[in-house]
């Protein structure tokens, strides 16, 4: 069998309905829109959320809360997870390569959960106080990016 011999199964492909092409087409005159009325007019389709003039649900429900536009979303990791990697130098790029974090978002924050086993140099955007304390007590260094 050759590619030019391939064709769809019989009945699986249907011709498009050609509306407004005269009386011989069977879809002439009103072009399947019926007689008069809102939907027969041009631009008659109302937008999503239109409820026939009734107050739409998105306007009936009260607004709640506040979205802080300057909020930063940091990728977070505990110091215990860092020491499990067994590396002497940790950067956000290394954590991405090792798939410890899925994305950097607005940066990396190191938290103080777990224990640090050996000296390690950690580069990140933010550190918690407990993380700094644990890393320095283990003989390591913290570098703010």
Is pLDDT of 85 > 90?
A: no
pTM higher than 0.75: no
What's the whole-number mean pLDDT along residues 76-99? 88
DSSP for 25-53, written as a single string: GTS-TTTTS-SSSGGGSTT-PPPTT-BTT
What the block records as the tokens of 144 is 């703010």
Look at phi and psi of residue 23 and say left if phi exceeds 0, alpha if psi is from -120 to 50, else beta. alpha
Neighbours of 95 (CB within 10 A): 22
3-state secondary structure 65-78: CCCCCCCCCEEEEE
Q: Which one, of 119, 97, 101, lies nearest residue 110 by Cα?
A: 101
- Asked if 128 contacts 104 with a C-beta cutoff of 8 angstroms, the reply is no
DSSP 102-121: S--BT-EEEE--S---S--E
pLDDT-derived band at 101, boundaries 50, 70, 90: confident
**Neighbour-count burial of 50, counting CB atoms closer than 10 A to its CB (0-12 exposed, 13-18 middle, 19+ buried):** exposed
Q: How confident is the model over 127-132, as a mean pLDDT?
A: 92
Q: pLDDT of 2-36, one tens digit each?
A: 999 999 999 999 999 999 999 998 999 999 999 99
- Domains of the chain by range and CATH? 75-144 (3.100.10.10)
Confidence of residue 129 (pLDDT cuts 50, 70, 90): very high
**Contact indicator for 111, 133 with CB cutoff of 8 Å:** no
Contact between residue 72 and residue 89 where contact means Cβ atoms under 8 Å apart: no
Average of per-residue pLDDT across 51-69: 93
């Amino acid at each position: 069998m050759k590619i030019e011999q391939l064709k769809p199964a019989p009945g699986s492909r249907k011709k498009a309905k050609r509306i407004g092409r005269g009386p011989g087409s069977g879809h002439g005159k009103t072009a399947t829109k019926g007689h008069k009325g809102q939907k027969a007019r041009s631009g008659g389709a109302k937008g999503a959320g239109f409820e026939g003039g009734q107050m739409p649900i998105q306007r009936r429900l009260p607004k709640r809360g506040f979205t802080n536009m300057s909020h930063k979303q940091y990728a977070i990791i505990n110091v215990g997870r860092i020491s499990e990697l067994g590396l002497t130098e940790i950067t956000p790029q290394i954590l991405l390569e090792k798939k410890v974090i899925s994305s950097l978002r607005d940066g990396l924050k190191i938290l103080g959960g777990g224990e640090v086993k050996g000296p390690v140099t950690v580069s990140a955007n933010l550190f918690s106080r407990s993380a700094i304390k644990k890393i320095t007590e283990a003989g390591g260094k913290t570098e703010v990016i």
